[in-house]
Amino acid sequence: MGLLIILAAAVTLAWLLWAILPTCYHKYLRRHLLRRQNGAERVLLLSFDDGPDPRYTPQLLDLLHEYGIPANFFVSGSAAAAAPQLIHRMQEEGHCIGLHGYRHANQWLLGPKAAARELTTGLVVLRGLGIEPYAYRPPYGNLTLYTLWLLRKHNLRLTLWSVMAQDWRGDTAEAILQRLRRRCRPGSIICLHDGCAGTAVADSAAATIEALRSFLPEMQAAGYRFLRLSEIKRADDPCRTEVLYGEA
pLDDT of residue 72 exceeding 50, the answer is: yes
Catalytic (active site) residue 194: no
What pLDDT score was predicted for residue 244? 45
pLDDT of residue 40 exceeding 60, the answer is: no
Span 83-94, pLDDT tens digits: 999 999 999 999
Give me the catalytic one of 49, 167, 171, 194. 49
Give me the catalytic one of 26, 95, 100, 193. 193
- How many independent structural domains does the chain possess? 1
Average pLDDT, the chain: 90
Asked whether residue 242 is assigned to any structural domain, the reply reads no
Asked whether residue 34 is assigned to any structural domain, the reply reads yes
CATH number at residue 164: 3.20.20.370
Asked whether residue 192 is assigned to any structural domain, the reply reads yes
Asked whether residue 127 is assigned to any structural domain, the reply reads yes
Catalytic (active site) residue 50: no
What pLDDT score was predicted for residue 144? 97
Residue 153 confidence class, pLDDT cut points 50, 70, 90: very high
Residue 7 confidence class, pLDDT cut points 50, 70, 90: confident
Asked whether residue 240 is assigned to any structural domain, the reply reads no
Give every CB contact of residue 124 below 8 A, 6+ residues apart in sequence: 77
Domain enclosing residue 22, as ranges? 2-232
